Structure formats: C-alpha cells, structure tokens
Amino acid sequence: MVVILILMAGCGGCRKSNTSNDDSNSVSSKDTFIEVMPRDTFITVDVSKQYPKKELILQDIMDVEYIALESSDEFVCQGIVLYIGKEIMLVRNRIEDGIIFIFDRNGKGLRKFNRRGQGPEEYLEYYWSFLDEDNGEIYVNQIMRPINVYDLHGKFLRKIDNDEGWNRIFSFDSKCLIARERTDLFDNIPSNNQRFALLSKQDGSVVKDFRIYYEKKVEPLIKNSSGNAGAGAPILPVISYRDSWLLMEPSSDTIYRVTPDYNMTPFMARTPPIQSMKTGILLNPSIFTDDYYFLETVKLEYDLIRWEGFPTTNLAYDRIGNAIFEYTVYNDDFREKGPVNLAWQRTTNSEIAFFQLFEAHDLLEANEKGHLKGKLKEITAELNEDSNPVIMIVKYMSEGRRN
C-alpha cells in the first residue's frame, strides 16, 4: 500500500514566494524557495507500511531551554513536573506525598502547599494536576472523584463533581475543560461511539458534546483467557495541538481536531481501516510543529506470560518534503543519553511542545565523561549531588529561527 496525501480545499498547490504574508504556507531562504504544505494539511497514514529511517537533531527542529530548579531546604523535591505555564511551574515528588511545589519559569521556588487528606476541601490523589494560569487556578483531577480547584496559594476555591466519569481532563480555554468519558475496558458493553465534551470550569456541566462514531469497538486491550485481566496498549485520546486539541478513538480511522470556536473537524486519518485488520495497529498523535507531524503506531500484540509487547514505531510526516519517515531524535547537548522520546511527553500550551527531566547525578556523571555541551554543560557546572533536577523545556521553534 502507499501513503495517500490528501490536500484540503484551499491548498491549491504549494506556494513558491518569499513575499507572501502567509508565513504558515511558505518559507524563504535567501535565493532558494522551500515548499511548505499548509499547516492543517490533511494526511492519511498507512500504518502497515515500512518507511525509510532518518535521524533528526532536536535543536534543529525545536527551541530548547534548560531550567535548574532552586535547591534549598524548603524546595528539595524530585522534580516531577505536573504543568509548565508561561510564568510558573507545578512540580511534585515521585512519591505522592501531597506536596505541590510552585516555581517560576527561571526555577526559583515561590511557595508550596499540601492539601492531601480525606476532607471535603482535600485531595487523595494529585497525579493529574494542571494549571489555569490566566485565572490563577490549580485543578487537581482525582481519578473517579471530584475535581478540586485551588488558588496559587493552595486555598480551596470549589469542587467540580465528576459523576459521569470524565477522565483525560485538561484546560481548554478560560471557561472550559476538555475531557473524555471514561470507559471500562472489561465491561464488554456494545457501543458505536466514544464521547468527549467541553465542561464548564465552574460546575462541570457539559457546554458542548462531541462523539466519534465507529462500526465496532476496538479495545486497546489484550485480555487473558478468562477475560477478567490483561494489558492495555498506550493511547493518547486527548492531546494539545497549539490553540486546539486533538481527539483520538482507537475504533475510528480518523483523528479529529476541536478548534477554539468549539467545532470538531477531521484532522488526520489512517489506513488500512482498523476494522479490517486481524491484528490492529493504532495511530497515536504526538507533537506537531510547523515542519513535522510526529506520530506513533502501536501494534496490538502482547505476551501476557512475559509481560511484554505492544511494539511501537515512531513516524514523522515532513511537511516540506511531503513524505513520511521513521525517525530518531537526538539532543545535541546530551547525545549519549540516547534518543529523545517525543511520543509520550505531556504538552502544556501553545508555546511548549514537551518537557523532560534530568537528574542532577546523571548530569554530573555525564559531564565528568565529557558528554555534555552548550547551556546544559554550563548549568551542570553549578550543580552538586543534592541538587534538584534540571528541566528541559522544548518549545515550538520561533518564527525568527524558522526563517
């Protein structure tokens, strides 16, 4: 099979001009004109095909920033990032002890609070926490429990009931959350759609409902012989895409985009149809830059005896070359660390594509061996074994660098 590249109406072929005001459609480089597909070009990816391999350098396609978290008696932490905003970052410890640390974007500790408990204004779990920086609010999404909302000092503001079992909840805009309705992988209840919705940030009521329809439910789950246990394949059903969000349902061949005006439109498709495959292969969206769409395929194969499987392949659609390839990305400041995983990084906002954690002892050891360079090497020179981790923030490339 071949990859089908379908241009949305309005493309009209690629532009070749260095005078156009539409920077999303064209890029000029001195006397050479580079063709770039429109930002929202619709593509269909053949998930069963083998593609050529290509290596990329992270700094060539993204802007990279390193932040050393302040290390003091008050702000000793393991640096597990909950959320990165434009001005502050939320951080927790690896062990869920309830503490939420707040650092500024330079890594300076501002404050911390702990509201863990079983009271009406407290939380039991806080793994899925995120920031609404514009409203100065922190959301703590407890699994199968209400969502608690606090101010930036830890003061309880309100509780949002979650009786309908919403999960994968994120901040959509100043008024709404975006969420996916929870499904029980073992209930075996027939259905023909997956529900997503925009929820009010005030009371959790449904502002707008979205459905992805399909012929038959394809569960990303390999069950044991009794059907009461198994292993679930990694899926990314809700993922940030600049000012929008992408919605993915394993049973459907289309990935959809929810735009800021609350509309859902087709964004990307896969082939062969998932319903026609004996062994299904899923297509997960990942990170989308002006030059590349990064994706991941997951084959629904798993050995429940060895507890291994779900083989994955990292794919990228090159918008300039109008082609798909299997990619490996390296951090030029720390290549010996190995490839950078783009597929399972948490995106946060229209500025930041993803972030990654570096432990201080790993950096010190790498620096002794001469494996570091650039800004990462400079920051490591100021660390010691007891220092807090360093956060690598990977941002979408600025327009000036692209041009």
Q: List the structure tokens of 3.
A: 């990859």
Backbone angles phi, psi at 368, to 5 degrees: -60, -30
Sheet holding 254-258, edge to edge: 4-5, 43-46, 264-271, 254-258, 244-247, 238-241
* pLDDT value for 347: 62
Q: List the structure tokens of 329.
A: 């990305």
The verdict on residue 369 lying in a domain is yes
The verdict on residue 197 lying in a domain is yes
Q: List the structure tokens of 317.
A: 């659609």
The verdict on residue 326 lying in a domain is yes
CA proximity to 219, closest of 290, 306, 280: 280
CA distance readout (Å), 75 to 65, 100, 208, 378: 21, 10, 41, 22
The verdict on residue 69 lying in a domain is yes
Q: How far apart are CA 336 and CA 377, in angstroms?
A: 13
Sheet holding 137-141, edge to edge: 128-132, 137-141, 147-151, 156-160
The verdict on residue 19 lying in a domain is no
**Cβ–Cβ < 8 Å for 138, 115:** no
Q: Which residues, including other chains, have CB under 8 Å from residue 19's CB and lie 6 or more apart? A: none
Q: Are strands 193-200 and 292-299 parallel, antiparallel or unpaired?
A: unpaired
For residue 292, what are the domain limits? 4-9+25-76+164-402
Q: How far apart are CA 397 and CA 344, in angstroms?
A: 20
The verdict on residue 142 lying in a domain is no
* pLDDT value for 345: 63
The verdict on residue 377 lying in a domain is yes
Q: List the structure tokens of 143.
A: 């699994």
* pLDDT value for 248: 94
How many residues in the chain? 403
| Amino acid at site 183 | T
Q: How far apart are CA 225 and CA 305, in angstroms?
A: 12
Over its length of 403 residues, how does the chain's per-residue pLDDT go in tens digits? 333 333 233 333 333 333 333 433 333 333 333 344 455 568 999 999 999 999 999 999 999 999 999 999 899 898 889 899 889 999 999 888 899 999 999 999 999 999 999 898 999 887 778 999 989 999 998 877 889 999 999 999 999 988 778 888 899 999 999 999 987 655 566 689 999 999 999 999 999 999 999 999 988 888 887 777 789 898 889 988 888 999 999 999 999 999 999 999 999 999 999 999 999 999 999 998 889 999 999 999 999 989 999 999 999 999 989 999 999 999 999 999 999 988 766 666 778 888 999 999 999 999 999 999 999 999 999 999 999 999 999 998 876 555 5
DSSP 342-377: -TTPPP-SSSEEEEEEE-HHHHHHHHHTT---HHHH
Q: List the structure tokens of 141.
A: 């999404």
The verdict on residue 211 lying in a domain is yes
The total number of structural domains in the chain stands at 1
Query: Model-level pTM?
Result: 0.83
**DSSP for residue 260:** T
**Cβ–Cβ < 8 Å for 251, 214:** yes
The C-alpha angle with vertex 134 and arms to 137 and 138, in degrees rounded to 5, equals 15
